[in-house]
Amino acid sequence: RRLSRDPAVNQPLAYLRLRRAIRNVVEHRDIEPGQALPSERDLSRLLQLSRVTVRKAIAGLVEEGLLNQRHGAGTFVAERIIKPMSRLTSFTEDLRARGLNPRSEFFERSVGEVTPEESMALNLSPGVLVARLHRVRYAKEEPLAIERSVVPASVLPDPMIVHDSLYQVLETLGARPRRALQRLRAVSLGAQQARLLHVPAGSAGLNIERRSFLDDGRVVEFTTSWYRGDIYDFVAELQTD
Ligand code: GLP
């Protein structure tokens, strides 16, 4: 008991608790995107926590992309969607963490023979079957991305069982990706893509290719996405060797 009263033990727990509490507040939209958080000083006074604890909790959420700080102006709930690049998360997980409920509209959910390009990307022999998903991804009725995913049919025999999250379905099939290689490229969105994403033709977009792997090294997904450049920020932490 004495140990739990020791500030050295309580401190890290307190900042993690505060981090969770702030995340809850954002998820429940008690503070809307773009709105300011109470100042560090007010939070520490209100919650009876040290400034160090408050600062540490906020710093963690800034790093996650949920909050951003404007110098001298304070801390705000992020308006743009800031996606840390080092974490292998799904579209659904990213948006749920921001209190948004994503939805997909499918153009295609089918099974067919692998094309030469897909067989290279997925490391599959010619003639093998793959499941294809082609969809527009929305949050709050706003289209955010177009995604075309290809998954070996040996992993996903029936793509019709995917309604919302592909990764959730893969998880239930015991095939949740563990590692991925991702390539980002700036593009200008063509007329059709722009129409689907409700932006003017020629708007900036991010073309992202992700190849995800299982623990045993098998490729489980080859996805090409077009994300809206006016909404998404991709951030990565860099370190020296
Ligand atoms: C991101 C990735 C895709 C991945 C998708 C899964 O958008 N760029 O490669 O397929 O997440 O998301 P969900 O599980 O919501 O379908």
Q: Whose CA is nearest to atom 10 of ligand 1?
A: 223
Residues written for the chain: 241
Domain with CATH 1.10.10.10 in the chain: 2-77
Does domain 81-235 fall under CATH 3.40.1410.10? My reply is: yes
Give the pair of three-digit tokens for residue 238.
Answer: 């860099």
Q: Is the predicted pLDDT of residue 63 greater than 60, yes or no?
A: yes
225 or 63: whose pLDDT is higher? 225
Ligand 1: which atom is nearest the Cα of residue 93? 15
CATH of 2-77, one of 3.50.50.100, 3.40.50.980, 1.10.10.10, 3.90.1150.10: 1.10.10.10
Kindly state the helix (H) or strand (E) to which residue 155 belongs, with its residue range: none
Cα-to-centroid distance, 53 and ligand 1 (Å):
34
User: Can you give the pLDDT at residue 212?
Assistant: 98
User: Among 157, 151, 158, which residue's Cα sits nearest to residue 177?
Assistant: 151
User: Can you give the pLDDT at residue 226?
Assistant: 97
Q: How far is CA 203 from the centre of its chain?
A: 22
Ligand 1: which atom is nearest the Cα of residue 212? 9
pLDDT band at 10 (very low <50, low <70, confident <90, very high): low
- Average pLDDT of every residue of the chain: 90
Interval 218-223 mean pLDDT: 97
User: Among 162, 167, 104, 89, which residue's Cα sits nearest to residue 137?
Assistant: 104
Pairing mode, strands 142-152 and 204-213: unpaired
176 or 25: whose pLDDT is higher? 176
Q: Is the predicted pLDDT of residue 2 greater than 60, yes or no?
A: no
Cα–Cα distance for residue pair 24/98, rounded to 1 Å: 9
pLDDT band at 5 (very low <50, low <70, confident <90, very high): low
Interval 128-137 mean pLDDT: 98
pLDDT band at 52 (very low <50, low <70, confident <90, very high): very high
Domain with CATH 3.40.1410.10 in the chain: 81-235
Cβ of 104 less than 6 Å from ligand 1: no
* Best residue among 85, 91, 165, 172 to mutate for probing ligand 1, ranked by most atoms within 8 Å of CB: 91
Ligand 1: which atom is nearest the Cα of residue 210? 9
pLDDT band at 62 (very low <50, low <70, confident <90, very high): confident
Cα–Cα distance for residue pair 5/3, rounded to 1 Å: 5
ipTM: 0.99
Pairing mode, strands 102-113 and 129-139: antiparallel
Give the pair of three-digit tokens for residue 22.
Answer: 């702030």
Read off the pLDDT of residues 14-44 as tens digits, 9 standing for 90 and up: 888 899 889 888 878 788 888 999 999 999 9
CA dihedral 156, 160, 166, 167 (to 10 degrees): -50
Q: Using a pLDDT cut of 70, give the percent of the chain over it.
A: 95
Cα-to-centroid distance, 117 and ligand 1 (Å):
20
* Best residue among 85, 100, 223, 231 to mutate for probing ligand 1, ranked by most atoms within 8 Å of CB: 223
Cα–Cα distance for residue pair 27/21, rounded to 1 Å: 10
pLDDT band at 66 (very low <50, low <70, confident <90, very high): confident
